[in-house]
Amino acid sequence: MAPYPGMLRAACRPVRSFLQRSWNRFLNRLDPPVLILLYHRVTTLAADPQQLAVSPENFRDQMRHLRDSFPLVGLGDDWGSPRETAIAVTFDDGYADNCREALPILEETGVPATFFVGTGSLGTREEFWWDELERLLLEPGEYPERFTLEDDARGVSWPTASPGQRTVLYGDLHRLMKTVDTPCRASWMRRLRDWSGKGDSGRESHRPLDFRELARLAQSPLVSIGAHTVTHPCLSALTAERQREEITASKMRLEEVLGRSVTLFSYPFGGRRDYTRTSEALCREAGFVRVASNFPGLVHRWTNPYALPRRLVRNWDRETFAIHLERFLYR
Ligand SMILES: [Zn+2]
Which three-class secondary structure state does DSSP give residue 277? Answer: helix
Q: Give pLDDT, residue 164.
A: 94
Q: Are 111 and 67 in contact (CB under 8 A)?
A: yes
319 CA distance to ligand 1 middle (Å): 27
Q: What is the DSSP string of 161-222?
A: SSHHHHHHHHHHHHHHHHTS-HHHHHHHHHHHHHHHT--SPPPGGGPBP-HHHHHHHHHSTT
Query: Per-residue pLDDT for 211 more than 60?
Result: yes
Q: Cα angle at 65 between 329 and 330, to 5 degrees?
A: 10
From the list 239, 227, 301, 212, the residue with the least C-alpha distance to 264 is: 227
Query: Per-residue pLDDT for 62 more than 90?
Result: yes
Q: Which residues surround ligand 1, an ion (CB under 5 A)?
A: 92-93, 268
Mean pLDDT, all residues of the chain: 93
pLDDT category of residue 82 using cuts at 50, 70 and 90:
confident
12 CA distance to ligand 1 middle (Å): 37
Query: Per-residue pLDDT for 317 more than 90?
Result: yes
pLDDT category of residue 154 using cuts at 50, 70 and 90:
low
Query: Bigger pLDDT: 126 or 14?
Result: 126
297 CA distance to ligand 1 middle (Å): 19
User: Cα–Cα distances in Å, from 251 out to 226, 227, 241, 247, 287?
Assistant: 8, 6, 16, 7, 9
89 CA distance to ligand 1 middle (Å): 15
Query: Bigger pLDDT: 81 or 321?
Result: 321
All domains in the chain, ordered by first residue: 21-125+204-330 (3.20.20.370), 129-196 (no CATH)
Q: Give pLDDT, residue 162.
A: 93
Q: Give pLDDT, residue 56.
A: 98
291 CA distance to ligand 1 middle (Å): 13
Chain segment 99-110, per-residue pLDDT in tens: 999 999 999 999
Chain segment 120-152, per-residue pLDDT in tens: 999 999 999 999 999 999 988 889 999 998 766
pTM for the predicted model, two decimal places: 0.91
294 CA distance to ligand 1 middle (Å): 10
